[in-house]
Amino acid sequence: MLELTEGQYNLVYNSFSFVIAAMGAATVFFLLIRNRVAPRHRLAVTLTTLVTGIALYHYVRIFGSWESAFSFGDGVYTQDGQPFNEGYRYVDWLLTVPLLLAELVIVLKLAAGTTRSLLIRLSVASIAMIVLGYPGEIADPDSASRWVWWIAGMIPFLYILYVLFGELGRSLDRQGQTVKRLVDYLRYVLVVTWSVYPLAYLAPQFIDDAATAEVLRQVGYSVADVLAKPLFGLLVVVIALSKSRDEGYITAIDGSHAAEDTTLAEANANA
């Protein structure tokens, strides 16, 4: 039975609470900034709002599951309650990972055929990655099956990176300089933050002390989720704003944007 010191327990507990606050704040921010973006780019902002909203829900559940899994006595937290439900993370990823890849593809406004093909392949690959990861996640820490499922999940993971850096790279020629730079930065953020997940997954493999491994895994996933969702979404919003500016929806001088109650044609005529 897992025993955590007060410090270890609280580190995880406060990480979860931090993620709840970050996801909640990001959701409200994305809702509020949405109308600042040109209508044709709002779908991407809507999707990132859903991503952080869904994650907010799951972290509230994860927090509750963590609380009811442990009891405090003799200065230590003992995991003797309901089993901690690792499933919430996987259900969350099943919904949010395809959505966050979709928001990146959609904000780029590529040709319709390219968009459809990218959306389908990235969704299938990300669902495969998550479904293949789960059996290993709930397997015994010492079992070889943890490694087997880790390798199985890494195949679609590498395919996603190949699509984002290979294929998507070639589609970026039509984008403006600022957008190209932002997408480069965004892909860099993605590859760094996504690398935290497979590392956190393997914590029980490399760290003999079960308590330390569990703390590292939970804190690792939490930090990665904040970077991969609110920060990633913020960059998508910056791309959408930059495009809205380039397209004349937001004017450079006063930062105002075409009024809600005039058509774009009128706004351009007035400008």
Q: Which residues bind its own copies (CB under 8 A)?
A: 6, 10, 13-14, 17-18, 20-22, 24-25, 28-29, 32-34, 36, 38-40, 42-43, 46, 49-50, 53-54, 57-58, 61, 72, 82-83, 85, 87-88, 90-92, 94-95, 247, 254-267, 270-271
Closer residue to its own copies, CB minimum distance, 66 or 163: 66
- Measured CA to CA, the distance from residue 177 to residue 161 in angstroms comes to 22
Three-state SS at 265: helix
Name the one residue in this structure whose structure tokens are 């559940």. Answer: 61
Residue 258: both structure tokens together: 């075409």
Closer residue to its own copies, CB minimum distance, 81 or 184: 81
- Measured CA to CA, the distance from residue 36 to residue 38 in angstroms comes to 7
- Measured CA to CA, the distance from residue 214 to residue 234 in angstroms comes to 30
Least CB distance to its own copies at residue 208 (A):
25
Least CB distance to its own copies at residue 251 (A):
8
According to DSSP H, which parts of 138-209 are helical? 145-162, 168-170, 177-201, 203-206
- Measured CA to CA, the distance from residue 228 to residue 208 in angstroms comes to 28
Least CB distance to its own copies at residue 149 (A):
15
Closer residue to its own copies, CB minimum distance, 206 or 270: 270
Q: Tell me, what DSSP letter sits at residue 84?
A: P
Least CB distance to its own copies at residue 128 (A):
17
Closer residue to its own copies, CB minimum distance, 164 or 244: 244
8 Å CB contact between 39 and 58:
no
Least CB distance to its own copies at residue 97 (A):
13
Closer residue to its own copies, CB minimum distance, 161 or 264: 264
